[in-house]
Copies of this chain bind each other. A is one copy, B any other.
Amino acid sequence: MNDLLLRACRRESVPRAPVWMMRQAGRYLPDYRAIREKVSFLDLCKTPELAAEVSLQPHRILGVDAVIFFSDILIPVEAMGIEVSLTDRGPQIGNPVRSSGDVARLASPDVDRAFPFTGEVLAMLRRELDGRVPLIGFAGAPWTLGAYIVEGAGSKNFAAIKGMAFGDPRCFHSLMDTLARTIGEYLVYQIESGAQVVQLFDTWAGELAPGDYEELALPYTRRIFEVVGDRAPRILYVNGTPALLETMARTGADVLSIDWRIPIDEARRRVGDGIALQGNLDPCLLLGDRDRLRSRTAEILDAAPPRGHILNLGHGILPATPVENARAFIEVAKTYTRA
């Protein structure tokens, strides 16, 4: 029974920081690639037995302190009527949202019926884990989902979604509102199905000026976290946190998951002791020399608060990562003793 993650989320005293990795069920693992050879990414998300298997791999192979169920942030928008295909170049949207008419046509999925595979995989994982480590649910935040479905693909400058936000704010806010409603219900459904912690990925919110984040993203994150309430600890992830930290802390998140662009002790000073922190190693350090990887990981643990810290990467683990390096990262957390 390892509930380190839950205790760290609640900022309770823990013997050591729990550790897991964003995108830990992924292509760097040969066991994952073996399954993906036989099934597409989206079909893998929608086949509970296979999704459960790849979700469990990093726990079995690396001993991470938490399991996150295998899925994709675009699953709920697909149920809203968005045509999603996941390609080697990232997600592609067949019918990008560009007008108020497009927003009005979005479906409001009944979360109890639209994602039966999500409920099933979460239930299977809870049974299978039997309390060994906590189970994490997740979803994309409205700004980040909006970026994909308005841009129609990944983007370098987010010109389409920002153009909408700055040029047709009524349309933009109506889209955010629609997304926030579905995502809030979707996370509650995940918790009712077995998720013990939820992480909201607002990956692209770091593209916003702080004032724009406050106007365009924060209200929808806050609304989702209000809907989740105290059903489960709420983690908020943003890539590009240095200028947004204090604002992120006002979303109602229990944990802020930060990228590597800010030293974690500086982040702690800025947000105070009332909120837990998750992070924050540059995932590219897992591509390099193992001694450097170990010492940089230990530096984060040296700098992190003694309670309320979850060791993680600052972004998803990269496909080119050697498994031995992923293992070394996890082992540092498990063997670390404060100097």
Contact residues of A with B, CB < 8 Å? 154, 156-159, 162-163, 165-167, 169, 206, 208-212, 240, 242-243, 260-263, 282-285, 287-289, 292-293, 315, 318, 320
Q: How far is the CB of A99 from chain B (nearest CB, A)?
A: 15
Counting chain B CB atoms within 10 Å of each CB, the highest count among A165, A209, A212, A289 belongs to A209
Q: Which chain B residue has the least Cβ–Cβ distance from A169?
A: B289
CB–CB A320/B159 < 8 A:
yes
What is the bound-complex CA distance between A262 and B213, given in angstroms?
11
Q: Which chain B residue has the least Cβ–Cβ distance from A210?
A: B263
Tell me which of B156, B167, B243, B293 contacts A242 (CB under 8 A).
Answer: B243
CB–CB B156/A282 < 8 A:
no
What is the bound-complex CA distance between A242 and B206, given in angstroms?
11
What is the bound-complex CA distance between A289 and B206, given in angstroms?
22
Tell me which of B163, B240, B261, B289 contacts A209 (CB under 8 A).
Answer: B261
Q: How far is the CB of A203 from chain B (nearest CB, A)?
A: 11
A-B contact pairs, 16 of them (CB 8 A): A157-B318, A158-B284, A162-B282, A163-B288, A163-B320, A165-B288, A166-B287, A166-B288, A167-B289, A206-B261, A209-B282, A210-B261, A210-B262, A242-B243, A242-B261, A243-B262
List the B side residues contacting A262 at CB < 8 Å: 210, 243
List the B side residues contacting A154 at CB < 8 Å: 156
What is the bound-complex CA distance between A289 and B169, given in angstroms?
9
**With A210-B261, A212-B282: A162-B243 Cβ-Cβ less than 8 Å:** no
Known contacts A157-B315, A209-B261, A242-B261; can you find 7 more A-B pairs with CB under 8 A? Answer: A157-B283, A165-B288, A166-B293, A167-B289, A169-B289, A206-B261, A240-B240
What is the bound-complex CA distance between A159 and B283, given in angstroms?
9
**With A157-B284, A242-B242, A289-B167: A263-B162 Cβ-Cβ less than 8 Å:** no
What is the bound-complex CA distance between A165 and B293, given in angstroms?
12
List the B side residues contacting A288 at CB < 8 Å: 162-163, 165-167
Q: Which 6 A-B pairs have the closest CB atoms?
A: A166-B288, A162-B284, A167-B288, A163-B287, A242-B242, A242-B243
List the B side residues contacting A206 at CB < 8 Å: 261
Q: Which chain B residue has the least Cβ–Cβ distance from A292?
A: B166
**With A262-B243, A289-B167: A159-B284 Cβ-Cβ less than 8 Å:** yes
Q: Which chain B residue has the least Cβ–Cβ distance from A245?
A: B242
List the B side residues contacting A318 at CB < 8 Å: 157, 159
Q: Which chain B residue has the least Cβ–Cβ distance from A162?
A: B284
Q: Which chain B residue has the least Cβ–Cβ distance from A154?
A: B156
Q: How far is the CB of A74 from chain B (nearest CB, A)?
A: 17
**With A154-B156, A315-B157, A318-B159: A166-B285 Cβ-Cβ less than 8 Å:** yes
What is the bound-complex CA distance between A158 and B287, given in angstroms?
11
Q: How far is the CB of A269 from chain B (nearest CB, A)?
A: 13
Q: Which chain B residue has the least Cβ–Cβ distance from A243?
A: B242
What is the bound-complex CA distance between A262 and B243, given in angstroms?
6
Q: How far is the CB of A97 from chain B (nearest CB, A)?
A: 16
CB–CB A211/B263 < 8 A:
yes
Q: Which chain B residue has the least Cβ–Cβ distance from A293?
A: B166
What is the bound-complex CA distance between A5 and B283, given in angstroms?
40
Q: Which chain B residue has the least Cβ–Cβ distance from A284?
A: B162
